[in-house]
Amino acid sequence: MMRVSTYGSYQTALLDLMSAQARGEEANRRVSTQKNATDLVGFGRQSETLTALKSSQARIQGFMDVGQAVLARLDAQDLFMGRLAEGVQGARQEIANALGAGRVETLMSALETQYQSAREGLNGKHQGLYLFAGGRVDQAPLQAANLTELAAAATPFGNDQIRQTSRIDESTTIQTGFLASDLGGRGLNVMAQIQRYQQGLPAVIDGQTFTPASADTIAGKPSAEVEAFLKAAMAELDRAFAEITDQTAINGGMQNQVERSIAAQDNQRIALEELVGSKTDADMAKAITDLQMAQVAIQASAQVISQLRQTSLLDYLR
């Protein structure tokens, strides 16, 4: 039986249904992804702006990652500088205690213990690499295993002169590396000279030469010559400790600088995220409303089509 329905009315209703379905799919995508589009093509003319913003985000995140790595290295350096300082200050204190007690028979063994502390500090590692070795990060900068080897070594330090530098932002590059020879040179030289003196060899402290009467003179009650030598060594250890403290303060200053840089970059990152979000994040209230309206339009279009298909001549002949 022929239905009373024009081709034009049916086609219009069908197009309305398809349009409502497309709007529904687009609104559903915004609701599910919470974004206005899933690729740059969907943002049209804003795509170039978004590309530039995302490039800035990546660059800032890269600097933040570098900053975190530098900060971890500086933290490790601070730890091992402290260990070195403990060894140098500890050696000074052992001499003072021995002179105060008027007995120095255990001094050399006590200094050996403090040397091991200083050696541990200078040979400190971060992520498996030696911190104070310069460019020779795969070998310990201080090879001497004890005071005897230290005193015998012509050059106890194996580091080179390459100091690590790090770029922490667009315009700032800082020198974060320290060298074992710079940090421990004065303090370990004092320990080496004390060992030489104990072996009966001339020892030089701050440009002054001390010649022992014989080997093993640092024993029992110290003579006037031994006492003068040890006091000179104490003064030189004080200067060595002051140098290490200054270098540790420089390291701490760089820690603060890097932390400030990371904080500033994090603020930039948040601002960029908000800016990108303002251009890409969907208005959820509008997206949900659009979805609901599309669903209503789909239902209405479907009903119209159904009614057109069911209408026949009988409806007019009754």
Question: What is the pLDDT, as a whole number, of residue 1?
Answer: 41
Question: What is the pLDDT, as a whole number, of residue 274?
Answer: 73
Inside any domain, residue 90? yes
Tens place of pLDDT for every residue, the chain, 318 residues?
Answer: 444 445 566 567 667 667 666 665 665 665 566 565 555 444 455 666 767 777 888 888 999 999 999 999 999 999 999 999 999 999 999 999 999 999 999 999 999 999 999 999 999 999 999 999 999 999 999 999 999 999 999 899 999 999 999 999 989 999 999 999 999 999 999 999 999 999 999 999 999 999 999 999 999 999 999 999 999 999 999 999 999 999 999 999 999 999 999 999 999 888 877 776 655 555 466 656 765 676 666 666 666 666 656 655 455 455
Inside any domain, residue 231? yes
Question: What is the pLDDT, as a whole number, of residue 195?
Answer: 98
- Please give the single-letter amino acid code of residue 126: H
Residue 242 CA neighbour count, 13 Å, CB half = 6
Question: What is the pLDDT, as a whole number, of residue 53?
Answer: 72
Question: What is the pLDDT, as a whole number, of residue 21?
Answer: 66
H-only helix segments in the chain = 7-33, 47-101, 107-122, 147-152, 180-198, 224-280, 284-310, 314-317
Q: Chain centroid to CA 268: how far?
A: 18
Inside any domain, residue 214? yes
Tell me which DSSP letter residue 42 carries. G
Inside any domain, residue 59? no
* Contact predicate 176/254, CB 8 Å: yes
Question: What is the pLDDT, as a whole number, of residue 273?
Answer: 77
Question: What is the pLDDT, as a whole number, of residue 186?
Answer: 97
- Domain tally for the chain? 1
Spatial separation of the C-alpha atoms in residues 236 and 188, rounded to whole Å = 10
Inside any domain, residue 194? yes
- Residue 173, C-beta contacts closer than 8 angstroms, at least 6 positions apart: 165, 166, 167
Helices 180-198, 107-122: crossing angle, 10 deg rounding: 160
- Residue 86, C-beta contacts closer than 8 angstroms, at least 6 positions apart: 117, 118, 121
Give the CATH number, domain containing residue 151. Answer: 1.20.1330.10
- Residue 246, C-beta contacts closer than 8 angstroms, at least 6 positions apart: none
Inside any domain, residue 202? yes
**Per-residue CA distances from 274 to 47, 162, 249, 267 (Å):** 16, 42, 38, 11
- Residue 105, C-beta contacts closer than 8 angstroms, at least 6 positions apart: 219, 220
Domain assignment of residue 220, given as a range: 76-261
DSSP letters for 72-137: HHHHHHHHHHHHHHHHHHHHHHHHHHHHHHT--TTHHHHHHHHHHHHHHHHT-EETTEETTSTT-T
Question: What is the pLDDT, as a whole number, of residue 51?
Answer: 72
Question: What is the pLDDT, as a whole number, of residue 305?
Answer: 63
Inside any domain, residue 2? no
Tokens of 213: 């009467």
Spatial separation of the C-alpha atoms in residues 91 and 190, rounded to whole Å = 10
Tokens of 237: 């250890």
Inside any domain, residue 102? yes
